Structure 1
Amino acid sequence: MPGHLIRRLHQLSTQVFAAAMAQAGEDLTPVQFAMMDALAAEPGLDQASLARAIGKDRATVGAVAERLAKKGLIARTASAHDRRAIELELTGAGRDLHARLAPRVAAIQADILPGLSEAERATFVALVARALAAAGD
């Protein structure tokens, strides 16, 4: 069943990520890294846009942003355009950590899909992206 296999693959992905972060001496979750990665690509995103970008709900993004802010990795500021919106960006420490971890995270992608060739991994990613797009995500 695809759902069961997807869940098991997600578990493997999380385990591989956790092991890489432990080896790097960092206490960072996949969602925290995804947020940092999105903010590295697009500084100043508001929490709602960031939630859409990483496929999480706004409440989760708010809670994770608070944890990253307490770690000194992101700054949260009120939007100049919309007083209800909170804009996020990486701090200097956040940019440094992201720059240090991004190559490590890129390197573990093959470990998340063991047994697949580079071409098969690319096909897999393309198919998953297509399925998500068809589902409206």
Structure 2
Amino acid sequence: MGAIKLCFVVQRPPYKSENARLALTHSISSQTAEIHLEDGETVVPTLIFVGDGVLNVVKNQQAMKFYGVTSTESHIKNGLLIDMPVWVCKEDMERLGLKQDQMIADAEDMGAELKTKFVSFAEIQKEMEACPHLLFF
């Protein structure tokens, strides 16, 4: 018995793609799988943004205005609201010229206590190595 760890790794940018949204909805809904598990087992998802995928975490995107699709901002905030860890790779943010104040760092406006973690790729790699189930988007 114990925790079943799932890592949802988003590597693609949010533009003209459903990948990030799929990762977000699957990671949020993964906890409903507990009805099929043994007593005492839980699902522990972690949502990780690396590479160009960190662009999904930029605040105030206007995806509907420019591309006709909803942005990932509300999905990320919903993930934080249900206490799902959200990790963003610092090195990729630096490579793209992004600062933490430009990113979705919390969902306090929705009542969430958990905050986005901005971590090194080494920390992300360690988490992925500890995670038996990796899903790439």
Short-chain TM bin: under 0.3
Rg (Cα) greater in structure? 1
Greater fraction of residues in helix: 1
Greater fraction of residues in strand: 2
Higher relative CO (Cα under 8 Å, sequence separation at least 6) belongs to 2
Return the TM-score normalized by structure 2.
Answer: 0.27
